[in-house]
Structure 1
């Protein structure tokens, strides 16, 4: 029958260069002809944001950034943008910062220039996420896709090694979930495999030399590829689980993704032999789970959900919320029983595949 698939490529400009963020931002602001700029950056990243924005005129500094983007936080930022006549959003920071910028763009249609300081990948997707009444809701809206992403590895050197690892494994989760997401296709698979290779090479280099740029450049490159593949393939089982854990139980985003990933991979890999072989090859390992476990050991990655505030008694409720959200095309059918086993193992930190 041959290859048959459909694929959408999102339109976005990417500027990549260490030490070039301020210069690239100024040129993009000029290109877009913006004059009323809203700079979104968390308080703890105000210094970095100030350096990046040193050559542009900022009309509004907004620092109220909250993990998982509560709707109340989003509404205050939206109101501030409207009241100040903003015509461009610049966000400098990680996934929560980008997420807030997206929330503003969703209702105002304002363009975004994203300057990531982590490996979250949100900047390269048209996916938004908002938390309301302890439930994290996500959706797709092309208004939230940043028009430009500016990558500068020097901006990530302030990110501690442990958080760099967790954030990078969040990017890895985008790659792996893309191989069985609702709209998985060969183009996504190619991007995802290269993303795995880049992250698997870059993250150990960060651990070995936290101040060095080569590892961080590779990780940023891999994170971008992971997000592009994920934006096209859609949220698979891993992300459905982590959205519930983050939104309902307020678990930290990157650490939750880093912890849950090997359990989902071990769950799906036996039922997805082509994806399993591609992941294993990208790791340069005999098996996908073995490759990921070896990398996680090298990185001293997050291990157990109990370390981040999840409780064993939360498992039944979490399973009941997650189960209806698992995509119908997931390689292995999810049930109350096997999801309970997965989350219980992730709670304890039992090494998957052993």
Structure 2
């Protein structure tokens, strides 16, 4: 038998600039290198003051602040019109996943280049994945046009992110790592990136909780979030993201908190049928099992515990199952049925012990 290693791996073309307090200088370098004359800066109202600081050394043609979670199609269309009407030649987005998602929506139809400057650990900046919501349904896809050409990481910009949101956002990043271990295009390279992402986030998030102004903790979390996103962009969207996109797009649940809450349940659901992925994740956490490592981290950072805290109700489970079942990847380690997916969502709704869920599902 031939036991040689064989796989196909896609590496996305992207420049990464990383340094505390260097975002303004980095952005100036990028604008000058490109010769951009009409820059559109996108930032939500809460991030606009950060955006003004970051863009203080460049000329800005348009400041755009209509940013909405899950990127409703009508919001995207208005932003596209602004970019087109003002003959914009560079998009600069400063913020989290919703802000970067809006820039991607513009780039999808205009092919404008993006410089992304994240202020959270969502990871959208390092992927070619877009998402739009229309009529209470979130649709995602892959298009190289939406991949930011340059990403600028500056942990100084994350210092004002509240600890609670930092935790949820960081666990969202960790979800990219876990999903990458069994995504549709999982391979040894993105698995290695995911494992290092787990290690970095596992180290960084507790430091942020202990000291919200820890440069070391913030740097580790940004580094881990980047690795998580790169691995996810290559491996593709797994079961966890299909569930969370349904909960966000159909029920308007908050993005980061939903990912943070659902993650241990999907890990418990799949781990028994993906032993190699489980062992790799456990080793990255430094624990006997991956679930033990994740739960230890969640306890240390006081992670979100139940979907009911964010407005999800038992009456929504049936619809969530219907929508999710249409999107489940064919290669998911454990076969997904209406019954076991309903049970998973019920457990996440009520904050049950994921280990108990794993035992139930294996019977």
TM-score of the superposition, structure 1-length normalised?
A: 1.00
In structure 2, the partner of 1:303 is: 305
User: Is 2:160 the counterpart of 1:158?
Assistant: yes
Runs of 4+ in 1 over 3 A off after TM superposition: none
* Alignment of structure 1 residues 48-127 onto 2, 5 Å: 48-127=50-129
In structure 2, the partner of 1:241 is: 243
Distance 1:238 1:212 in 2: 30
User: Is 2:229 the counterpart of 1:227?
Assistant: yes
In structure 2, the partner of 1:275 is: 277
Distance 1:290 1:32 in 2: 47
In structure 2, the partner of 1:34 is: 36
Post-superposition CA distance 1:133-166 (Å, at most 9, x none): 0000000000000000000000000000000000
> Which segments of 5 or more consecutive residues in structure 1 lack a partner in the other structure?
none
TM-superposed CA distance for 1:74, in Å, is 0.1
* Counterpart secondary structure, 2:88: coil
* Counterpart secondary structure, 1:14: strand
In structure 1, the partner of 2:293 is: 291
TM-superposed CA distance for 1:4, in Å, is 1.0
Distance 1:82 1:256 in 2: 34
* Counterpart secondary structure, 1:131: strand
TM-superposed CA distance for 1:324, in Å, is 1.9
> Which segments of 5 or more consecutive residues in structure 2 lack a partner in the other structure?
357-363
* Counterpart secondary structure, 1:38: strand
Distance 1:185 1:33 in 2: 38
Match of 2:139 among 137, 140, 145: 137
TM-superposed CA distance for 1:353, in Å, is 0.6
Distance 1:303 1:251 in 2: 14
TM-superposed CA distance for 1:32, in Å, is 1.0
TM-superposed CA distance for 1:301, in Å, is 0.1
* Counterpart secondary structure, 2:91: strand
Distance 2:340 2:33 in 1: 52
TM-superposed CA distance for 1:323, in Å, is 1.1
RMSD: 0.5
TM-superposed CA distance for 1:169, in Å, is 0.2
* Alignment of structure 1 residues 14-33 onto 2, 5 Å: 14-33=16-35
TM-superposed CA distance for 1:249, in Å, is 0.2
Distance 1:267 1:42 in 2: 36
In structure 2, the partner of 1:349 is: 351
* Counterpart secondary structure, 1:344: helix
Distance 1:40 1:254 in 2: 20
Distance 1:263 1:32 in 2: 45
* Counterpart secondary structure, 2:334: coil
Distance 1:317 1:48 in 2: 39
Distance 1:220 1:150 in 2: 11
* Counterpart secondary structure, 1:30: helix
TM-superposed CA distance for 1:33, in Å, is 1.0
Post-superposition CA distance 1:250-295 (Å, at most 9, x none): 0000000000000000000000000000000000000011110110
Post-superposition CA distance 1:193-216 (Å, at most 9, x none): 000000000000000010111000
